[in-house]
A and B are shown apart, each in its own frame.
Chain A
Amino acid sequence: MSGFITRLWALAKKEVLHMARDPQVILLALGMPLLLVVLFGYAVSFDVEDVPLAVVDQDHSPASRDFAARMDESDAFRIRFRLESEAEAEALFRADKVKAALVIPEGYARSLTRGEPTELQLLMDGADGTTARVAVGYASQMGQLETLRRVQDGLTMSMPLEPRVRTWFNPTMDSAVFVVPGLVAIILAVLSVLLAALTVAREWERGSMEQLFATPVDRLAVVLGKVLPYVALGILQFMLVLAAGAWLFDVPLRGRFVTVLLAVILFLTCSIGQGLLISMVTRNQQVATQVGAVSSILPALLLSGFLFPVENMPLILQVISRIVPARYLISVLRAVLLQGRSITDLGGPFLSLVLLAIALITLTTLKFRRRLD
């Protein structure tokens, strides 16, 4: 056992020396997470702000002007053009000058006064589906509010039932707060898989693996000697991303840090196991990079719940997503960072991460043969 520890410690120390002396590793490991968090944090946004709006006011009444003004006052829309006809709006859509057009028909004020049903038309540019969906949501909410206001004014009494929507954990529905925890998983998945895949492939290519095999080192020590330093590096990356998220986007930490740290360590063990497995099979840096990139980015991005809720996926993808470690890390991070939940509430994801980590390290150790053939 003491021999195992001696060798493991020497292997881990050697790996740290490799990392410290390779500027590319430093740049990739520490520069990339910061760059990605800034890029993703600002670019991946589900918030819709200042959608350019054209108003076709065919009523020309105080009521129609009032409604248009309310649209303009909201954060979602900004009036860019005031038009006389829908045809003019279509030209602006085609020129990409506006994303939405509000058509207030003639007789709008009269219908309101008479208490008749009134229709407002909102035309949206469906080419940008995400913006269109969110903006329609905002607009219909504004329409409902306007109706309520009118009803209240007309009856001069308070409504018996007034909906008041409160969004918990992310009250301003800020995308970055939601995105950054997911981003942690993406960054850690991609970088850990890639760096781990490269380190073993490099040893195969440079021939040092052959010299290592001629020593009494056992395969578990070689695998763990690679895993431990990269877990430490991953923790450093995690803290960097978390600090950047808190500083730039006010991402909170409502739960205990140790809970997320534990999940991150388990997740990193899975990702590094995956990277080592890839490089043991490919034994080639170039192929390991390609396989590592595809097998880490795609599942972490598409099957983890980062962009699309897992519950909305077809059954087969839901089943596959069960072996994607990023899925569990993201749910733990969102639960602990945003909701302040504790480890006792998160038994399921933690158990899944433990099982996946054990499975991947076992598979990697078994696959790793102390032989060149």
Chain B
Amino acid sequence: MNDSARVLVAHQLHKRFKAQEALRGLSLGVAPGELYGLVGPDGAGKTTALRIMAGVMGPDEGYARIAGKDPLSGDPAVRSMLGYMPQQYSLYGDLSVDENLAFFGKMFCLDKATFSAQRERLLHITRLGRFGDRRADALSGGMYKKLALACSLLPKPRVLLLDEPTNGVDPVSRRELWALLFELVEDGMAVVVSTAYMDEAERCHRVGLLHRGQLLMEGAPTRLMAEHGNAATFEDLFLAAVREAA
């Protein structure tokens, strides 16, 4: 796939935090309608990679592009093409579900009709409709993540970046979240999900195994398994790759 077909491109990303090198030349590309899994142990550099691609952090070297544009530029058009859900709780806990949605709707300058339609749709698909008045910090872990996802989907982004969205979420909510992601991908959205769960990684169209800031391998999970025939499970494959790299 050439770069022109990719709506999200990361090229040779390097990032250092004092003595620690978080990213060491990470490159990847994601096409519209593709679900990309960024898999790796804690400290592999997943969050840093997503932050740089979301334009909330600058790389030391390399660049990220969303539909050919620099997410760091602050151009509102790029921002509106991008949905980003950080790993940590990042909504306003003392605001209700409706107030959080309304606030982020205003940040994306959605007009009243568009916001209203998006709000209805997102509350419906996230099944949060009944909880409009509930404060965000009174929601369960799974519901909170769904609200964060709904907020990031408000501008109908072309690229969605999710940092460990199912971390601390119960199995039922996890399944619902993944079902939702597949719906979004079917609609043509490019989605990047970071995860430490191997069963989730296997559901992605393509995965990148990230270890110490570098991709150890990348490809469709089934192809990777076939290429490394001695691994019984995807988790074995992953662990073997990490051991080899160490």
On A, residues with C-beta under 8 Å from B are 2-3, 6-7, 9-10, 14, 17-18, 21-22, 206-208, 210-218, 370-373
Contacts and interface: CB of A to CB of B under 8 A. Distances in A.
B219 interface: no
A211 B86 contact: yes
Contact of A14 (B51, B82, B103, B151): B103
B197 interface: no
Nearest to A4: B109
Contacts of A2: 109
A219 to B, nearest CB: 9
A200 to B, nearest CB: 14
Given A17-B94, A17-B95, A18-B92, A214 B55 contact: yes
B80 A216 contact: yes
Contact of B107 (A17, A22, A217, A370): A217
A3 B76 CA distance: 10
Given A22-B94, A206-B89, A213-B56, A372 B51 contact: yes
B90 interface: yes
B106 A9 contact: yes
A191 B51 CA distance: 35
A14 B56 CA distance: 22
A216 B56 contact: no
B178 interface: no
Interface residues of B, number: 34
Contact of B94 (A18, A216, A372): A18
B142 interface: no
A217 B92 CA distance: 16
B95 to A, nearest CB: 6
B237 interface: no
Given A17-B94, A216-B76, 20 more contacts: A6-B106, A6-B109, A7-B109, A10-B107, A14-B99, A206-B89, A207-B90, A208-B91, A211-B91, A214-B56, A214-B79, A214-B84, A215-B107, A216-B74, A216-B79, A216-B109, A372-B51, A372-B56, A372-B57, A373-B57
Contacts of A212: 107
Interface majority SS on A: helix, strand, loop or mixed? helix
Contacts, number: 82
A210 B56 contact: yes
Given A215-B79, A216-B79, A373-B58, A207 B89 contact: yes
A14 B76 contact: no
B118 interface: no
B108 interface: yes
B110 to A, nearest CB: 9
Contacts of A214: 54-56, 79, 82-84, 86, 152
A371 B59 CA distance: 11
B234 interface: no
B86 A210 contact: yes
Interface string B91-117: 111110001001110111100000000
Nearest to B77: A216
Interface string B47-86: 0000100111110000000000000101010011011101
13 contacts: A6-B106, A6-B109, A10-B102, A18-B94, A207-B86, A207-B90, A211-B84, A211-B148, A214-B55, A214-B79, A214-B83, A214-B86, A216-B76
A25 to B, nearest CB: 11
Contacts of B80: 216
B86 A10 contact: no
B108 A215 contact: yes
B88 interface: yes
Nearest to A218: B74
Contact of A206 (B57, B74, B93, B107): B93
B145 to A, nearest CB: 13
Contact of A371 (B58, B86, B148): B58
A2 to B, nearest CB: 8
Nearest to A10: B106
Contact of B57 (A207, A208, A217, A371): A371
